[in-house]
Amino acid sequence: MGRRIVVTSGKGGAGKTTIAAGLGLSLASLGASVVMIDADVGLSNLDTLLELDGKIMFDLSDLMNRKCRIKQALIAVSGHDNVYVLASGKAGADAEIGDPVRFAEITSKLAEVFDYCIIDCPAGASDGFKTAISGADEAIVVVTPHIVSIRDADKILGILLAAGMQDTMFVINRIRGDLAVSGKMLSHKEIEAVLNAKLVGVVPESDDVTILSSLAFGKIMQREISRSFVMMAESIHKNKRILFDYKKKYRGVFGFIRRKMLEKGA
Ligand SMILES: Nc1ncnc2c1ncn2[C@@H]1O[C@H](COP(=O)(O)OP(=O)(O)O)[C@@H](O)[C@H]1O
Ligand SMILES: [Mg+2]
């Protein structure tokens, strides 16, 4: 059986969709077969991020309502042999994902075929969130290095635990090495000390997330953001602590100069 992992967070905007897409593409680059499921039905940003617009014939809501077969709703991601998406773009802004039992049935069937089902979840503890987590065995909470986000993540971890999900993971997104080195931003160690979950990824703040389309992913492999995604995927796949060193660039003499230049906005 494949692993069914939901990507969630306290509030919107922490980077769930970005992390879900980056994780999915990175797991595939490690040789795993992956299906990404857009369970954030109202927003459905996954389609846009992976440039699937126009390719969607049937989507998750059709599948939930038994209007098509699973195979018909899977969209192959260009540039990858082993990555598919179960989109949700057709449903409209106020659509709800629906019955948790049906959703769990769909992800179980997918887990018979794929190594990983990565579920992009709606924010907070809505009904959509409850349905999304019912289709998963594991959860990743996405958190940014800000007190409010950490507090929300802590609440979500509590809710996940109450829902019977034990070994939860978390990813720190949008961290800035320059600020963490100079003590102006919380470091991963400080966040780790607060959250009762396993840290599996550290993703830096980066302008390159905007080019994280399925086709561009291979091309941006050398960039920091892709390296951090691949390390996160390895950490999950190998069940071993492999974290991107977001501070490296800002240590030592040259690091000091880089930090000073950033402070001046150069
Ligand atoms: N590591 C990052 N660096 C820079 N911008 C990011 C990063 N992660 C996410 N973003 C941006 O933040 C916004 C929200 O991200 P998104 O993944 O859509 O969040 P969510 O799905 O949690 O609402 C998007 O505009 C995205 O491009
Ligand atoms: Mg999203």
> In this predicted model, what pLDDT tens digit does every residue of 76-132 receive, in sequence order?
988 888 999 999 867 666 677 889 999 999 999 999 999 999 999 988 878 889 999
CATH code (residue 25): 3.40.50.300
Q: Is the CB of 173 under 6 A from ligand 1?
A: yes
Residues 121 and 123: their CA atoms lie apart, in Å, by: 6
User: Which one of 209, 223, 232 would you pick to mutate in the ligand 1 pocket, going by the greatest count of ligand atoms within 8 A of its CB?
Assistant: 209
The top-scoring range by mean pLDDT among 111-120, 157-166, 180-189, 205-214 is 111-120
> pLDDT: is 235 or 222 the higher one?
235
> pLDDT: is 232 or 91 the higher one?
232
Count of structural domains, the chain: 1
Single-letter code of the amino acid located at 182: S
User: Which residues on adjacent β-strands are paired with residue 93?
Assistant: none
> In this predicted model, what pLDDT tens digit does every residue of 130-140 receive, in sequence order?
999 999 999 99
Percentage, residues of the chain above pLDDT 70: 92
Of 99, 102, 94, 139, nearest to 4 (Cα)? 139
Which letter, b or e, does each residue of 200-238 get, where b requires 16 or more Cβ atoms within 10 Å of its Cβ?
Answer: bbbbbbbeebeebbbeebeebeeebbbbbbbbbbbbbbe
Residues 209 and 165: their CA atoms lie apart, in Å, by: 30
Of 204, 178, 188, 177, nearest to 19 (Cα)? 204
**Which atom from ligand 1 is nearest to the alpha carbon of 174?**
1
As a whole number, the mean pLDDT across the chain is 90
Q: Which domain holds residue 98?
A: 3-263
Residue 217 pLDDT more than 80?
Answer: no
Starting from the CA of residue 39, give the closest ligand.
2
CA 31 to centroid of ligand 2, rounded, Å: 25
